[in-house]
Structure 1
Amino acid sequence: MTQARLFSGMQPSADSLQIGNYIGALMQWRDMQDAYDAFFCVVDLHAITVPQDPAELREKTRRTAAQYIAAGIEPSKSTLYVQSQVPAHAELAWILSTVTGFGEAGRMTQFKDKSQRYGSDQTSVALFTYPVLMAADILLYQANVVPVGDDQKQHVELTRNLAERFNSRFGETFTVPEPVIQSDTARIYDLQTPTSKMSKSAESQAGVLYLLDDISATAKKIMRAVTDSDGTVHYDREGKPGVANLLTIYAALTGRQIASIEDEYAGRGYGDFKKGLRDVVVSEFEPVRERALELLADPAELDRLLAANAEKAAETAEKTLSAVYDRIGLLRRG
């Protein structure tokens, strides 16, 4: 029986992924790669919708790919590649832009948020068409499912609309994908500002746990995490956001129920609880960090591995693109 296909990706926008990426994406991908024909992409074309330093982008792309592998995304099980190394992504994005309404592209909330932040003169056309490129990423591989964060759900809905519209106009061509949205309980918040989602763009890095940070720095950040004056280890997202966030991390990394962790630390206070969480995070991060740094120490071998996977991805992508060109009436080179 043919496995259903999965596609997902992540931008190389930081030197190190953070624990929210790890719990919200990488752990999920690692589990799903056994059940699906999985394509995982470092989406570097998306990263250049805002200004980038070329040398830094190249390094961040390698570092992101290395962390994928170190976290358990196995190139022998999954197709792990760099987006720009498969030209069909950009080619299909142009075709899909011809069936995308200007109004529906303009309604994408991420574009509206970012364009307001940067101003119209600093907002690129690429940022506006970002969701169309994302649709191309997904549809190229005839993906059945797309694991994404809740903030990307609108983009997957656009992808579904474009697939259905193209199929209706030109004949059955694309698989219409289903989003797999992470649960709210998997959302990770800043350790110092636990009402804000953890992000590399936070004003202070004291509340962000990075996979490639020195382990001692990670431990210190956990021990200094904001809690409250109540002193009880109890989950209450509204009333005790700091403690609730730490419980979420603990439960996600151990696979335990939050109630079980609450019982373990009943009457023991925040000091013991933070030490327990520190040990959990360190034991999870340490081997990932070591493996990622090992991969980055041999960039030529990492590049070879990614190139081989890009060739594999291109075989599938070109089949879809060829069908699209035929359907839409483009004259192919003989």
Structure 2
Amino acid sequence: MLNRQAILRLASKRWTSTVQRADYKLNSEALPKNATVFSMIQPTGCFHLGNYLGATRAWTDLCELKKSGQELIFGVADLHAITVPKPDAKMFRKFRHEAVASILAVGVDPEKASIIYQSAIPQHSELHWLLSTLASMGFLNRMTQWKSKSNIKQSENKEYQIDDTEVGKVKLGLFSYPVLQAADILLYKSTHVPVGDDQSQHLELTRHLADKFNSTYKTDFFPKPITMLAQTKKVLSLSSPEKKMSKSDPNHDSVIFLNDEPKTIQKKIRRALTDSISDRFYYDPVERPGVSNLINIVSGIQRRSIGDVVEDVSRFNNYKDFKDFVSEVVIEELREPRTEFEKYGNEPDYLHSVVESGMRKAQEKAAKNLSNIHRIMGF
């Protein structure tokens, strides 16, 4: 897996690179002509701040910049979601509904982007199987997500301590999750994939499988998609800043949701875990992870460098003023998405029509590409 320095070196090469670090605000040159952008998010209900800054705000930027000849496909990764079983079908349907409402609430324009449910386009699953015949167990075994989601312990040097008994309990779907993700991307011959840092390893596998298919069948059918890494660093839990912000956190004070009321946001940030240094505020993610997380949130929202934000907050000499400032920034940023989420949540027929329209366009491309894949493979 690429480390951060390697990723930044690659990003400087722009389009000749397979990894690029997005600017705080994408400009009109962010995508070449005829680019196909693909990205999805799991249906965990209303988006939280980490979803927004780490992935989906870039979708909105891309909609604003879209030119003729470019294609945007954004979706709800409901097949990925069941790699951790979802026995409550009613709640699962609700989460899918809320994911689409969230996508629209953050500003994704359904006139410019196709919004889809992954499960409604069967070619995703079929290409998953075809690519799985090219994916080695060794490569998949190096993936970290199935280990973290299986609660396999890490040593002090961050190496996973794999026990045969624990591995024996891992579900096949979770283990092969990255192959399905590769199928999602390659099905549309995607050229660019906006993701957070934690997905860069999976994109490495996607490019490997594209190369493997092309070399095996002596073709250049699949392009090597570029990883568009979000500029904002990973948003962390407010109460446990050693881990990322997640809806699955049992402590909901750790998570800021798009539909949180201003008073709720203010309360959560006031309760955010920080440290005993209360008269100065600076960025040090090792020694001051809680403070650094709040600075990172402001940096992401304001689309400004960490250094610029640190200069702003250096004027504060107590936690109340510092946290009130962070609260104000977050509240203002989420004011419109909160209102829009509530509106779309009450319009199920409209949400259905958006997804139906998006899936018709995506299905046409998926069917055409899979037909060509069948031909190349000899089916």
**Alignment TM-score, normalising by the size of structure 2:** 0.81
Cα-Cα RMSD: 2.0
List aligned pairs for 1:255-274, cutoff 5 A: 255-269=303-317, 270-274=319-323
Alignment partner, residue 114 of structure 2: 79
CA gap 1:163/1:209 in 2 versus in 1, 3 angstroms: same
Answering whether residue 284 of structure 2 is matched by residue 236 of structure 1, we say yes
**Mapped partners of 1:327, 1:179: distance in 2:** 26
The count of residues paired between Structure 1 and Structure 2 equals: 328
**Mapped partners of 1:128, 1:195: distance in 2:** 25
Please identify, of 266-275 and 127-136, the stretch whose mean Cα deviation from structure 2 is larger: 266-275
**Mapped partners of 2:151, 2:270: distance in 1:** 37
Alignment partner, residue 322 of structure 1: 371
The Cα of 1:203 is off from its aligned counterpart by 4.2
Provide, for residues 291-334 of structure 1, a one-character-per-residue CA deviation record: whole Å limited to 9, x for no partner: 1121111212211110110011111111110100111111xxxx
What is the one-letter code of the residue matched to 2:108? I
CA gap 1:266/1:177 in 2 versus in 1, 3 angstroms: closer
More helix by share: 1
Q: Retained in 1: the 8 A contact 2:114–2:357?
A: no
**Mapped partners of 1:207, 1:103: distance in 2:** 36
Alignment partner, residue 45 of structure 1: 79
SS at match of 1:186: coil
Q: Retained in 1: the 8 A contact 2:236–2:293?
A: yes
List aligned pairs for 1:21-100, cutoff 5 A: 21-33=51-63, 34-35=65-66, 37-52=71-86, 53-100=88-135
Provide, for residues 212-234 of structure 1, a one-character-per-residue CA deviation record: whole Å limited to 9, x for no partner: 22332112101222222322122
What is the one-letter code of the residue matched to 1:92? L
What is the one-letter code of the residue matched to 2:302? T
**Alignment TM-score, normalising by the size of structure 1:** 0.92
CA gap 1:159/1:221 in 2 versus in 1, 3 angstroms: same
The Cα of 1:120 is off from its aligned counterpart by 4.7
**Structure 1 unpaired stretches of 5+:** none
**Mapped partners of 2:134, 2:254: distance in 1:** 43
Provide, for residues 196-249 of structure 1, a one-character-per-residue CA deviation record: whole Å limited to 9, x for no partner: 222223342222111122332112101222222322122222222222111111
Provide, for residues 237-274 of structure 1, a one-character-per-residue CA deviation record: whole Å limited to 9, x for no partner: 22222221111111211123333333334343221221
**Structure 2 unpaired stretches of 5+:** 1-31, 153-164
Match of 2:302 among 231, 254, 265: 254
CA gap 1:266/1:121 in 2 versus in 1, 3 angstroms: closer
What is the one-letter code of the residue matched to 1:244? S
**Mapped partners of 1:264, 1:295: distance in 2:** 36
CA gap 1:275/1:105 in 2 versus in 1, 3 angstroms: same
Answering whether residue 240 of structure 2 is matched by residue 205 of structure 1, we say no
